[in-house]
Structure formats: C-alpha cells, structure tokens
Amino acid sequence: MIEFRGVSKDYGSVKALDDVTLRVNRGEVLTILGPNGSGKTTLLKLAAGLELPTEGEVVYDGVIVEPSNAASVRRKATLVFQKTVTFRGSVFDNVAYGLRLRGIGADEVERRVTEALDLVRLSHLKERRAGTLSGGEQQRLSLARALVLGCELLLLDEPTANLDPDSLIIVKDVIGRLKGEGETTIVIATHNLEQAESLSSRIVLFREGRVIEEVHPEELLVAPSPEMARFTRSENVFSGVSKVVEGVAHISVGGDVEIMAAFSHEGQVLIHVRPEDIIISRGRMESSARNNLLGRISGITEQNSIVKLRVDVGRVFTVQITRKSLVEMGLNVGQEIYLTFKASSVQAI
C-alpha cells in the first residue's frame, strides 16, 4: 500500500529520518516501535501526505507522492496525533465536522457519527461540549473523528499514552476490532512494548531515524534480538506477580511495593516505567494517577540540564527531571519525596 524508498527527512540541521526503506502492506497493523525522538511521528506525517521527504520517495498505491497529488493521499489517510485537539461545540459536532466539510448529507452524517461514537463508547456524551471531556475521553473522540471518515489508512501516534485504564481498554478494543475486520490498514507509532506485542501484525524497530529491524509479534518477547534487547534494557524494570482486580493489574514487585498497571496479564510479569513518566512532589499529590509511592532520595546524577534521581520506595526507582526543577524544589539526598505515575505508564515487557 505504501512504500518508503530511501526516505530521509531533515528539519534544518536535524535529520528526523535517515535513508528509510519500508513497506506497509494493505490490511495489516504495523507498529513502529522506538524511543522518543526516533522519527516515528515524522514517518506518520509522510505516510499521511502531510509532509514530503527531503530525499527519497514515498509511494502510495504505486504512485509517487508529490506536491501535485499529496491532497489525494490526505483524503485516503487520517492521522490521530498524541496531543488531542477539540473544536468548539458538542462531541457530536466534533465527530461530524469532517463529514460536513465533505458535503455528506444530514442522514448519513447522523448514521456514521452514531456508529463511531458507539464504537468508542461515547454515545452517552454526544451532546456534551467537547472541551469538557477528560483526557482519555478526548483521545477516544479523536479516534472517532478519524474512524467516521472511513479512510483506508489509519495512522495513530502513541494512541494509548497517558490514558486512564477504561479508555486504554476501549482504544485497544477498537484497534483489535479493526484488525480483525482487515479493511483498514493501521500504522501505530509507540514506545509501548506490550501494545506492540498485542496489537501488531508486524513490528519495525526504529532508532535515530533509521529502521533497525523488523520482527513478528511472537518474536518480540520469546526470542528478542540483541537490538530489541537493547531497547528493552532500561531503568525501572521490575519483576513481580500480577493479579487483576476490576480490570487493573496489581503487581507485587517486592519490598512491600505494589504497582498498578492498565493491562490484564496475571502471574509472573516483567514491567517497565520510564523515568520521564514519573512526577515527583514534596507532598502527596491529589491526582487520578493510581501509583503514588513515598520514598527517599538515595542518589542524584547530573547530565547537562537533565538530572536523574534514585529514589528508594522499597524498590529503587530512577526519576528524570530538569536541573531547574532540582534547584527550585531544593532536593537533596536523604529527602523524602512522592513518586506519582499513571497505571497506563506501566508497560509489560
């Protein structure tokens, strides 16, 4: 369906993509897996016809994408960004916007919007002002706004990042249903290993704007390559026993520490929490985040403007903050602080 032929993309002196050659097959769910800054979002923008490569070619259905035909690609593809944007008006109006722009009749708009809202389980909120929705509801609204257009290519940028457990389950269910129907080609950009393993037909590992390797989901955890193992090796990796209660995994990782995660694995699990996904505070935060752990700073390491704290909560976590935050909060070794992070930030690896 799409072919990237030696594609590079520069933004000034920054090379976001570097000689990428890759095919996207019709009807598959392809996951672009990699850390932040690896070029995943840039690849999606090129696939959507929103940008053109600096070098190389993007080929859509056998036709090279150029300024003269990029608009036709944009009509076939839709990109859902990680950061949600809502329009004025109701939830219904937000989902209907694209259809009305295309001159679709009122009856057809009503039917298609109703179906899309049912799919993402927002029908009960269709009259509510879109700007009043929670973050998870807004992400589901964005997904409905994309689905209602019936595009043949759906591009999702970190679709489950920072979602509450209920929204996480719904979004994954929608992707799973579309995969089962096989009528929509889906490309997902994510750093979430569990998501890549559970939703994908094929996985491509990206690093520094380059394709490192391609694998099938069953290879991801059973027999990871050295490159994949390198990707999974990072701070805050814990082994524990998971028990699912009301759709949320409660994971005992030792040291009297229990971590809650938004997945349904039970039994022995290996989990990871990114240092930058953890919020620190001097006092306990009032937050919807399910994980709130009190610990003591055991070490501080500075790397230019970035500071990494080692915090002992019964198990040692690494937390990443700026040097400015370190100074403003007056943090030192031995101080007690709270670590707060969402259940959706906990990844099974």
DSSP state of 344: G
Which of 291, 289, 222 is CA-nearest to residue 253?
Answer: 291
pLDDT tens for 197-217 read 778 889 999 988 999 988 888
Question: Among the residues of 202-257, which ranges form H helices?
Answer: 217-222, 226-232
Name all domains of the chain by residue range, CATH numbers in brackets. 2-231 (3.40.50.300), 237-348 (2.40.50.100)
Work out the number of other CB atoms within 10 angstroms of the CB of residue 252.
14
pLDDT tens for 234-251 read 678 888 999 999 999 999
Q: Write the single-letter amino acid at 151.
A: C
pLDDT for residue 62 is more than 90: yes
Task: List C-alpha distances in Å: 196 to 7, 199, 219, 240, 267.
Answer: 24, 6, 11, 21, 20
Work out the number of other CB atoms within 10 angstroms of the CB of residue 66.
12
Mean pLDDT of 71-93: 88
CA dist 321 and 277 (Å) reads 10
Model confidence band, residue 46 (pLDDT cutoffs 50, 70, 90): very high
pLDDT tens for 138-194 read 888 988 998 888 889 999 998 877 666 677 788 888 888 888 887 889 999 987 776
CA dist 268 and 253 (Å) reads 10
Mean pLDDT of all residues belonging to the chain: 88
* pTM of this structure: 0.67
Which of 279, 171, 215 is CA-nearest to residue 33?
Answer: 215
